[in-house]
Structure 1
Amino acid sequence: ALPSLKQLSRHNVDPQRIVFEITELGGDIQRLADVVARYRHAGARIAIDDFGAGYSQLDRVLALQPDILKLDMRLFQAAALGGPSSDVVKALAQMAEKTGCWIIAEGVETEDQLNFALECGSRYVQGFLFARAQEDFFATDAFVERFAQLRQRYVQQKLGERGRLMIMRQQLCELMAILQAWALARAPLNALPQLQAFPWLLRFYQCDRHGTQLTPNLEWRNNGWEADNRYLGHNWSWRPYFYQLLAEGWDERRLTLSTTYRDATSNQYCLTAGQFFDNGERLLLIDIDAAGL
């Protein structure tokens, strides 16, 4: 018998109130999986601690299928500052969500870190932003008012981001009309306006309805439009935003906007907007600098 389960039985503690936490230890993962199965059969839940560091890696998650993942504090705090580690932690959180895990963010010491934890979909947070560790338990409602204030500020921040995105959508509709008129007229490059009203514009190009690029990438550089021919003839139909366009934008010819992604060439955060025109035979795609959002 497992000593921990015997202890629960001896003190008449319901196993459903218990979470067994697996820390960074090596060993036989199959044996560990067998022990986890016994805990789960008894009704307890399983957490993996310090996920993202040391031994707590994906093979362990796949083998044990935990109920809870506790993000490694150092990884989480670094990710909250932005940059590549931020993308990694968000991807880990998405993976956890898809496998039915709850996320716990440890080391939440600032409001920005709390906002990042909420951005990752954390079900629970712990850290000095609320209180330092104490010997006695806190009252169950000790942090309700404080968290409600912080949550409201976070929601207002996200509403502001959505508002800026809606303004950009309106501007994108104006830009699409300008560029489509230029493309339909088959005007030369020097007839293209400078478009200073759209400072977030990175580049634009045209594809056929099957995703093959018909024109060079056109970018505003050195006070003039420049054509980059490297991607002529490339097919982008496999990209998520393209089949989203086919599914949502073909019949209505409406503007579709991708989710934010990091461009591998420029290392910038981008969005891609697309809209069919020319009786649905051509697709105009606009890459946008998402930093302002």
Structure 2
Amino acid sequence: MNVFPWFQPIIEIASGEVAGYEALARTADVQGQIISAANLFSSSSLSREERLSLDRDIRLQALTKFNSLPQGQFLSLNISPEWINSVTATGELPTLEMLKQVGVRPEQVVLEITELDGDLDRICLFAERYRSEGVKIAYDDFGAGFQQMDRVLAFTPDFIKLDMRMFQRGPKTHFHSALMQTVGEMSARLGCKVIFEGVETPDEFFAALHCNASYIQGFIFSPARAEFMGVDSMKAQTMELISQHLDMAIDEVARRQFYTEGLHSELMLLKDLLLSGGTDNLNTWHPDPDVLRFYICNRNGTQISSNFTYDVSQGVWVEDAAYAGHNWSWRPYFYQLLGATDFERRIMSSSPYYDLETGQECSTLSLSLDDARILLVDIREERKSQGRLASLISCHSDLIPALS
């Protein structure tokens, strides 16, 4: 059985360099075409011992070929918990023995552990043994096992790999981007670097940037190849993509700023109405269509008014007292406003989120009504950003500068 490794490059975003490769098993079909050999490692036609021997042979071939590359690059090898169970707790680790055999430094190797449904304590034990020798550990296909968050927290890998293709299954909703961003933020907090694989288009590249990706792997750069590439071979393409992203991001900020200036006028009008006659004056104000609701809190964060929502079809304001008495002081846009030295004229904005009542993406703006009260206004996000990045990113700034 002729099975051999091909290598897919992994690009570091910040430098544009080929930082490393993932070794992928390949074979030839009856027509001589090179195809994936991944199915062999779960084939019932091979015994467990045959599959283990095949897996170790692929790793040894990959390491032997990789040994010719610059020492700054890394090689990522897949390993299943099934093979970890083949090794005794105190016995020799075959991959480490291979490193010694071919002369590859452990620091150049990343072991991708997939299918984290084995014995977690045993996996963690062996991961620490590899780490103690300098080998890094990656959790592969993290999104596919998102429900096993407790395992990831215990495992604490050096890398988390996300397959972009997983987020394309089924209809696209805001949950896809929310999940991707959550994984990126969690990885940063855990001290993990994120590798996005399966990236094929510029838009997917841009989405990965906003999910804390450090590395990109996918057809946008190259499929798996028999031979290695030059370290700088993808740098021009990477820098061009980053430049495109910067241009779009600047345009997006300008759009948001223009829209924010209009909202500032709206909120100042509402503030004047409330100060001059309270909610009795509301019928004279027809809000921007993106204003979902407003309410008032005291300086301690307790909501002291009803929610007021404008019914466009009826042309009237609807009052809902269900949230009166709730406390919102723990939300950043509330305490950040009070902490600002010029809070009397400052408008603060939350990061975008999805409104539970309407299911729409929105943000909350807050500004001082007077010395004792804070006005909070929920704003729909759709028209705030209309550029190409609108479907890919969320604004992470919590501050909208005061406008004069």
Q: CA deviation at 1:237?
A: 1.8
Provide the secondary structure at the position in 2 that maps to 1:275.
strand
Who is 2:351 aligned against? Answer: 259
Q: Which residue of 2 aligns with 1:213?
A: 303
Match of 1:233 in 2: 325
Query: Which residue is 1:276 aligned to?
Result: 368
* Structure with the greater alpha carbon radius of gyration: 2
**Separation of aligned partners in 2, 1:192 and 1:199:** 15
- Separation in 2, partners of 1:91, 1:25: 20
The one-letter code of the counterpart of 2:250 is L
Does residue 111 (structure 1) correspond to residue 202 (structure 2)? The answer is yes
Deviation at 1:80, TM superposition (A): 11
Q: 1:247 matched to which residue of 2?
A: 339
| 2:220 match: secondary structure | coil
Q: Using the TM superposition, give the Cα deviation of residue 27 of structure 1 relative to its aligned residue in structure 2, in angstroms.
A: 2.1
Aligned to 1:87: 178
Tell me how far apart the structure 1 counterparts of residues 146 and 344 of structure 2 sit (CA, whole Å): 50
Distance in 1 separating the partners of 2:322 and 2:117: 48
Give the drift of 1:56.
Answer: 8.2
Identical aligned residues as a percent: 39
CA deviation string 1:86-114 (max 9, x = no partner): 21121111100111111011111112111
2:118 alignment partner, one of 24, 27, 48: 27
Equivalenced residue count is: 290
Q: 1:213 to 1:249 in 2, by over 3 A?
A: farther
Task: Give the TM-score normalised by structure 2.
Answer: 0.67
- Report how far residue 227 of structure 1 moved: 2.1
In 1, Cα distance between the equivalents of 2:201 and 2:341?
Answer: 42
- Is 1:140 aligned to 2:222, yes or no? no
- For 1:170 and 1:55, locate their aligned partners in 2 and report how far apart those are by CA, in whole Å: 40
Distance in 2, matches of 1:178 and 1:100, equals 46
What secondary structure is seen at the aligned counterpart in 1 of 2:322? Answer: helix
User: Structure 1 segments of 4 or more deviating over 4 A?
Assistant: 78-82, 249-253
Contact 1:15 1:43 (8 Å CA) reproduced: yes
Question: Which residue does the alignment assign to 1:174?
Answer: 265
Q: TM-score, normalised by structure 1?
A: 0.91
The one of 105, 119, 128 aligned to 1:14: 105
Which consecutive residues of structure 1, in runs of 5 or more, have no partner in the other structure? none
> Retained in 1: the 8 A contact 2:337–2:343?
no
Checking the alignment, whether the CA contact within 8 Å between 1:22 and 1:46 is kept in structure 2 is yes
In structure 2, stretches of 5+ residues that fail to align are: 1-91, 386-404
Deviation at 1:176, TM superposition (A): 2.1
Structure with more relative contact order (C-alpha pairs < 8 Å, separation 6 or more): 2
Alpha-carbon deviations, 1:230-260, whole Å to 9, x = none? 2222222233322222323675541111111
Give me the whole-angstrom Cα distance separating, in 2, the residues matched to 1:163 and 1:55.
36
